[in-house]
């Protein structure tokens, strides 16, 4: 939610205003001291007669109701028995629109929330509940049941995401439906009294997209602007599931059908930068404000408890006078609104509210744990928590079994996200700290649809297979204390089940069907269409993908010290595939290839026997499943220019929307790049050896991109910039629309036209773009904006026009192909989130993938990554290619080209095949779990990276 919080324009809140106390009658005092706001029936008001010595019916009722509330306050939320299916039902199920037939999923490979069941099973479910899971060999028979033979496919429980904001902020995103953070200054940084359920919109299309990724249950949280942000609520990701199939919020709730008083409650809180920035306090200010709130809550809780003790004693032994006087004299200090305001904080102290804290940094965890001890509440989970890996023992020592709900790779978007570590999941789980991957959904890059992708990434960085699967099923369910209903696929659990087309941790694992409360939610025709280009071979392999190979520091040191020397020779054996031109491409099934490299030149690339004579006396690197790829090229709006996205002290800066388009003031990235940082470390482990980096800009004009090397071994003085000026960049669309200058998209288009006409004959950088000497790259997502660009290209065919971004490009794919306009697609796994992208493709299993449509239309395209903190994802560039390849039916070579040769061609880089960077991998980089062994710089022949590491 950092995007929403970026605004520095949020006014500081006025001092907290205390409302004058309402005049309080005895009745309201008694009732409200108990936190009961709604049970008064008007007729009692007339019966009330405080002076009567006989207890009125009302007084008796008030005492009983009070005692009932005292009792309820002490009772934990109900856990339902789950031992047998018949012992419970799914309260969400209804007879008119709920699952109406008994379904058998036959011959399933089942991950049941804990483990992968040894033998294939048959799963029977009925009325939204799993009835039985039995050995498939027994072939269970139930007359009238609807049977689906899955032939051994994977089934998991519906995934559980413990951090999402969909429904509070609907797709397409509009400011008028952004109800996530209660930031009105009248309230200030403490809003525990608001409830996210009051913000939900039961028509959010994102819900359907999320469910299509297998995510069936989500904890919907208020945003993180406030120290206490309000109460959260758990939903199932299915719209119109009620009797009348209307958009009803109540029917979204996991606990729909359960009595309101039995439902679980959750509090969202936040530490660190957000409340600090929004309310202009320091961390010490934040701590005091929070402690003061809890102290007051404690005081009120004590008053409630005292009342309860006395009331119980009086009920047992008291005489009429004593009771009447007790009810009369009950505290008049607190008003109804006090109890409305403090109810959830008091409930926190009673252990009735699960506490979920947005908290990143070691000092913030420590402080919050200290507060939890001071006031006696338990923290259910720290969210985001990107530094938690630095202090697992401190977190464990709290004794609270705090879950770390985190991202597997997203980071660097602000200081408190700067310690993001790809190995965090492994480190935390090695220390026995429960981890749950979570989305933070509303933007495309936090799209909850791809929750499982995070578990898969975590797994590639050594989170064991079962823990990775648990991290998106049973762990979040346990953390949220809903593991009696969801997170497992066992008899008695809600029938939320996902059928996968492959092992769930493989690149591009797709849900073929998602059952929620027993009802199928995907349209099989659409699923089939979305997968129409997929070659089915891979889906038969039931094994988990491999994890990245690592080597000890000694082995690394020994190898790297040798090969990194100038003029060195080395031999690599065990290569199965190569994507370099002019050499052997693939090993025969029985053999593998050997490569001998001398001073960066490939002397021999053939069978081991043929290369044997040349490999003498050189260090030998022995691989099992070696792959050789060209060095990949990213197109970035950040790498080398910003270390921490939102901290300008770490970046070159960002061109404002008011920047003109005068060629005299044009910005050149080559003057601002630094060739180091954490983004570079991630680029290297992704085999990305070069980046075309454009200046950062909020508006229409961006400037001139430069070509840099990512090895970190070069500076800007000795060849780190391989090409000074690559392309001229502009941006057209809602994001870049200005306020004063270029306030409309139409004015952006006409300015672009003017720039072309006015500079066509001029000797400046715009002149080069106008006459097609260098590419004119325009960031555009909306299909109508792209059509405007097609018209420009039709009128000025000399232009070397490139679309960057391209959410809407599949919608005009034929026209782009005809106009010969290439696309650098950053919407590979995009989403119809922004209004201007509302027609863009959500991707399989709901639609074909963008890459499939572009491929079919014959558009020349490449892939890159764009967005907030894009450098934290940059190592996934080859994985994106693997993902695209699956749905577009591309060969591995074509996939590799999407992130290498196609980028070079489109951006006009002139790379000689013999001077190409190449990278040797262990494993297939189009799949999770491959690692870079070494990279060679094609220009100087030096080994530019050797077993690079991300941290």
Ligand X SMILES: *[C@@H]1O[C@H](CO)[C@@H](O)[C@H](O)[C@H]1NC(C)=O
The CB-of-764 to ligand X minimum distance in angstroms stands at: 6
CA–CA separation, 597 and 132 (whole Å): 59
**Complex with ligand X: residue 520 or 712, whichever CB lies closer:** 520
CA–CA separation, 617 and 396 (whole Å): 51
Binding mask 494-513 for ligand X (x = CB under 6 A): --------------------
Kindly identify the residues of this chain, within the stretch 413-442, that bind ligand X according to CB under 6 A: 434
First to last CA, the chain: 26
**Complex with ligand X: residue 136 or 933, whichever CB lies closer:** 136
Binding mask 718-757 for ligand X (x = CB under 6 A): ----------------------------------------
Q: How many CA atoms lie within 13 A of 213 on its CB side?
A: 30
The CB-of-357 to ligand X minimum distance in angstroms stands at: 15
Structure tokens at 487: 């997170």
For residue 152, state whether it binds ligand X (rule: CB under 6 A).
yes
The CB-of-406 to ligand X minimum distance in angstroms stands at: 14
The CB-of-519 to ligand X minimum distance in angstroms stands at: 7
Binding mask 61-100 for ligand X (x = CB under 6 A): ---------------------------------------x
Q: Which among 173-181, 242-250, 766-774, 872-880 is the span making contact with ligand X, rule CB under 6 A?
A: 766-774
**Complex with ligand X: residue 188 or 434, whichever CB lies closer:** 434
The CB-of-725 to ligand X minimum distance in angstroms stands at: 11
Instruction: Out of 128, 574, 679, 767, point to the residue binding ligand X (CB under 6 A).
Output: 767
Give CA separation, 474 vs 198, 478, 482, 484, 609, in Å: 28, 6, 9, 10, 52
How many C-beta atoms lie closer than 10 Å to residue 825's C-beta?
26
DSSP string, 573-603: EEEEEE--TTS--B--TT--EEEEEETTEEE
The answer to whether the CB of 849 falls within 8 A of the CB of 863 is: no
Structure tokens at 794: 């039709």
For residue 136, state whether it binds ligand X (rule: CB under 6 A).
yes
For residue 146, state whether it binds ligand X (rule: CB under 6 A).
no
The CB-of-343 to ligand X minimum distance in angstroms stands at: 26
CA–CA separation, 600 and 612 (whole Å): 18
CB-based burial label for 698 (10 Å; 0-12, 13-18, 19+)? middle
The CB-of-760 to ligand X minimum distance in angstroms stands at: 8
The CB-of-103 to ligand X minimum distance in angstroms stands at: 11
Closest residue by Cα to residue 192 from 340, 310, 67: 340
Instruction: Out of 52, 151, 528, 724, point to the residue binding ligand X (CB under 6 A).
Output: 151
Bridge partner residues of 943 (DSSP): 936
For residue 403, state whether it binds ligand X (rule: CB under 6 A).
yes
Instruction: Out of 678, 768, 793, 916, point to the residue binding ligand X (CB under 6 A).
Output: 768
**Complex with ligand X: residue 545 or 707, whichever CB lies closer:** 545
Residue corresponding to tokens 């306020």: 739
Which run of H or of E encompasses 317? helix 283-317
For residue 484, state whether it binds ligand X (rule: CB under 6 A).
no
Q: Which among 347-355, 356-364, 767-775, 836-844 is the span making contact with ligand X, rule CB under 6 A?
A: 767-775
Pairing relationship of beta strands 701-704 and 632-636 according to DSSP bridges: unpaired
**Complex with ligand X: residue 30 or 801, whichever CB lies closer:** 801
Closest residue by Cα to residue 658 from 697, 696, 693, 694: 697
For residue 479, state whether it binds ligand X (rule: CB under 6 A).
yes
The CB-of-434 to ligand X minimum distance in angstroms stands at: 4
**Complex with ligand X: residue 194 or 381, whichever CB lies closer:** 381
Residue corresponding to tokens 């220390």: 431
The answer to whether the CB of 804 falls within 8 A of the CB of 822 is: no
Tabulate helix, strand, coil % of the chain (nearest 5). 35, 20, 45
Closest residue by Cα to residue 898 from 855, 931, 842, 856: 855
**Complex with ligand X: residue 292 or 762, whichever CB lies closer:** 762
Length of the chain: 951
The CB-of-771 to ligand X minimum distance in angstroms stands at: 4
CA–CA separation, 824 and 870 (whole Å): 15
Q: Which among 197-205, 460-468, 764-772, 782-790 is the span making contact with ligand X, rule CB under 6 A?
A: 764-772
CA–CA separation, 902 and 825 (whole Å): 11
Q: Which among 167-175, 336-344, 761-769, 833-841 is the span making contact with ligand X, rule CB under 6 A?
A: 761-769
Instruction: Out of 177, 208, 771, 839, point to the residue binding ligand X (CB under 6 A).
Output: 771
Buried b (16+ CB within 10 A) or exposed e, 900-923: bbbbbebbbbebeeeebbbbbbbb
Bridge partner residues of 570 (DSSP): 597
**Complex with ligand X: residue 539 or 651, whichever CB lies closer:** 539
Site size toward ligand X (CB under 6 A) is: 23
For residue 137, state whether it binds ligand X (rule: CB under 6 A).
yes
For residue 401, state whether it binds ligand X (rule: CB under 6 A).
yes
For residue 577, state whether it binds ligand X (rule: CB under 6 A).
no
**Complex with ligand X: residue 313 or 542, whichever CB lies closer:** 542
**Complex with ligand X: residue 213 or 545, whichever CB lies closer:** 545
159-164 sheet: strands from edge to edge: 159-164, 215-220, 228-236, 265-270, 353-359, 379-384, 403-406, 435-437
- Write down the H helix ranges in 500-582: 524-530, 553-563
Cα torsion for 522, 524, 529, 534, to the nearest 10°? 90
CB-based burial label for 81 (10 Å; 0-12, 13-18, 19+)? exposed
CA–CA separation, 23 and 405 (whole Å): 45
**Complex with ligand X: residue 401 or 950, whichever CB lies closer:** 401
The CB-of-13 to ligand X minimum distance in angstroms stands at: 36
Instruction: Out of 33, 34, 85, 120, point to the residue binding ligand X (CB under 6 A).
Output: 120
**Complex with ligand X: residue 107 or 510, whichever CB lies closer:** 107
CA–CA separation, 687 and 884 (whole Å): 18
For residue 107, state whether it binds ligand X (rule: CB under 6 A).
yes
The CB-of-235 to ligand X minimum distance in angstroms stands at: 20
Instruction: Out of 452, 475, 726, 919, point to the residue binding ligand X (CB under 6 A).
Output: 475
**Complex with ligand X: residue 617 or 763, whichever CB lies closer:** 763
Instruction: Out of 478, 510, 809, 897, point to the residue binding ligand X (CB under 6 A).
Output: 478
The answer to whether the CB of 520 falls within 8 A of the CB of 99 is: no
Binding mask 529-558 for ligand X (x = CB under 6 A): ------------x-x-xx------------
**Complex with ligand X: residue 194 or 475, whichever CB lies closer:** 475
Number of H helices, E strands in the chain: 27, 33
Q: Which among 606-614, 682-690, 763-771, 821-829 is the span making contact with ligand X, rule CB under 6 A?
A: 763-771
Closest residue by Cα to residue 842 from 436, 291, 448: 448
The CB-of-151 to ligand X minimum distance in angstroms stands at: 4
The answer to whether the CB of 729 falls within 8 A of the CB of 668 is: no
The CB-of-568 to ligand X minimum distance in angstroms stands at: 32
For residue 102, state whether it binds ligand X (rule: CB under 6 A).
no
The CB-of-929 to ligand X minimum distance in angstroms stands at: 7
Q: Which among 83-91, 198-206, 524-532, 762-770 is the span making contact with ligand X, rule CB under 6 A?
A: 762-770
Chain residues that interact with ligand X, rule: CB under 6 A: 100, 107, 120, 136-137, 151-152, 401, 403, 434, 475, 478-479, 541, 543, 545-546, 762-763, 767-768, 771, 773
């Amino acid at each position: 939610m950092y995007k929403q919080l970026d605004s520095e324009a949020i006014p500081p809140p006025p001092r907290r205003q205390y409302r004058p106390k309402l005049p309080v009658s005895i009745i309201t005092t008694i009732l409200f001291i108990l936190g009961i706001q709604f049970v008064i029936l008007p007729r009692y008001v007339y019966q009330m007669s405080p002076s009567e010595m006989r207890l009125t019916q009302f007084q008796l009722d008030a005492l009983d109701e009070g005692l009932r509330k005292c009792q309820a306050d002490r009772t934990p939320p109900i856990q339902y028995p789950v031992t047998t299916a018949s012992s419970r039902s799914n309260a969400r199920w209804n007879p008119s629109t709920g699952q109406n037939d008994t379904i058998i999923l036959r011959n399933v490979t089942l991950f049941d929330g804990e483990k992968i069941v040894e033998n294939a099973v048959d799963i029977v479910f009925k009325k939204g509940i799993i009835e039985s899971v039995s050995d498939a060999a027994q072939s269970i028979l139930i007359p009238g049941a609807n049977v689906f033979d899955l032939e051994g496919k994977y089934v998991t429980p519906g995934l559980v995401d413990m951090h999402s904001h969909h429904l509070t902020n609907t797709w397409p995103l509009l400011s008028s439906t952004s109800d996530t953070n209660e930031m009105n200054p009248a309230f200030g940084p403490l809003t525990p009294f608001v409830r996210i359920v009051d913000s939900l919109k039961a028509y959010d299309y994102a819900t359907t997209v999320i469910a299509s990724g297998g995510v069936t249950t989500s904890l919907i949280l208020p945003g993180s602007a406030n120290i206490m942000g309000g109460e959260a609520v758990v939903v199932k990701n299915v719209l119109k599931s009620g009797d009348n199939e209307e958009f009803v919020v109540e029917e979204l709730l996991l606990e729909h059908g359960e009595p309101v008083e039995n439902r679980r409650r959750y509090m969202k809180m936040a530490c660190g930068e957000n409340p600090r920035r929004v309310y202009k306090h320091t961390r010490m200010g934040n701590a005091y404000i929070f402690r003061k709130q809890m102290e007051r809550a404690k005081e009120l809780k004590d008053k409630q408890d005292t009342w309860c003790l006395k009331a119980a004693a009086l009920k047992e032994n008291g005489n009429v006078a004593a009771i009447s006087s007790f009810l009369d004299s009950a505290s008049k200090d607190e008003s109804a609104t006090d109890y409305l305001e403090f109810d959830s904080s008091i409930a926190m102290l009673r252990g009735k509210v699960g506490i979920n804290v947005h908290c990143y940094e070691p000092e913030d965890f420590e402080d919050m744990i200290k507060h939890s001890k001071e006031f006696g509440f338990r923290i259910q989970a720290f969210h985001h928590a990107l530094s938690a890996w630095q202090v697992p023992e401190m977190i464990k020592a709290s004794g609270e079994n705090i879950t770390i709900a985190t991202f597997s790779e997203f980071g660097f978007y602000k200081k408190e996200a700067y310690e993001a570590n790809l190995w965090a999941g492994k480190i935390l789980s090695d220390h026995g700290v429960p981890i749950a991957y979570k989305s933070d959904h509303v933007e495309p890059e936090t799209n909850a649809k791809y929750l499982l992708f995070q578990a898969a990434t975590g797994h590639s960085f050594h989170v064991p297979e079962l823990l990775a699967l648990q991290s998106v099923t049973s762990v979040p369910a346990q953390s949220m204390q809903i593991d009696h209903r969801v997170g497992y696929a066992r008899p008695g659990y809600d029938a939320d089940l996902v059928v996968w087309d492959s092992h769930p941790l493989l690149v591009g694992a797709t849900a073929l069907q998602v059952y929620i409360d027993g009802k199928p939610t995907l349209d099989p025709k659409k699923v089939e269409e979305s997968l129409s280009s997929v070659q089915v071979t891979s889906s038969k392999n039931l094994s988990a993908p491999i994890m990245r190979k690592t080597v000890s520091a000694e082995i690394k040191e020994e190898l790297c010290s040798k090969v990194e020397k100038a003029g060195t020779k080395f031999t690599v054996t065990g290569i199965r595939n190569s994507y370099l031109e002019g050499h052997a491409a693939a090993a025969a099934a029985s053999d593998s290839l050997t490569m001998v490299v001398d001073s960066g030149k490939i002397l021999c690339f053939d069978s081991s026997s043929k290369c044997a004579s040349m490999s003498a006396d050189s260090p030998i690197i022995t691989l099992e499943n070696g792959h050789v790829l060209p060095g990949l090229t990213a197109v970035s709006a950040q790498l080398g220019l910003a270390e921490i996205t939102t901290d300008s002290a770490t970046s070159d800066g960002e061109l404002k929307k008011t920047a003109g388009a005068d060629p005299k003031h044009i910005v050149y990235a080559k003057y601002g790049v630094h060739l180091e940082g954490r983004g570079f470390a991630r680029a290297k482990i992704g085999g990305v050896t070069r980046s075309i980096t454009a200046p950062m800009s909020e508006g229409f004009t961006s400037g001139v991109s430069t070509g840099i090397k990512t090895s970190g071994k070069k500076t800007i003085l000795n060849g780190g910039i391989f090409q000074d000026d690559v392309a001229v960049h502009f941006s057209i669309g809602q994001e870049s629309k200005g306020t004063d200058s270029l306030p409309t998209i139409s004015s952006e288009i006409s300015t672009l036209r003017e720039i072309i006409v006015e500079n066509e004959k001029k000797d400046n950088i715009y002149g080069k773009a106008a006459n097609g000497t260098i590419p004119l790259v325009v960031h555009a997502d909306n299909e109508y904006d792209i059509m405007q660009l097609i018209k420009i290209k039709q009128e000025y065919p000399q232009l070397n026009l490139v679309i960057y971004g391209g959410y809407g490009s599949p919608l005009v794919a034929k026209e782009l192909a005809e106009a010969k306009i290439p696309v650098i697609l950053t919407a590979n796994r995009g989403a119809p989130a922004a209004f201007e992208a509302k027609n863009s493709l959500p991707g399989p299993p709901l639609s074909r993938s963008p890459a499939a449509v572009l491929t079919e239309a014959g558009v020349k395209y490449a892939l890159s990554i764009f967005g907030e903190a894009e450098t934290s994802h940059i190592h996934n560039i080859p994985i994106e290619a693997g993902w695209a390849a699956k749905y577009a039916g591309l060969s591995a070579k074509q996939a590799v080209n999407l992130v290498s040769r196609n980028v070079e061609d489109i951006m006009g880089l002139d790379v000689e095949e013999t001077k190409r960077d190449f990278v040797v991998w262990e494993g297939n980089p189009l799949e999770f779990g491959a690692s870079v062994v070494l990279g060679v710089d094609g220009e100087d022949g030096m080994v530019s990276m050797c077993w690079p590491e991300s941290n």
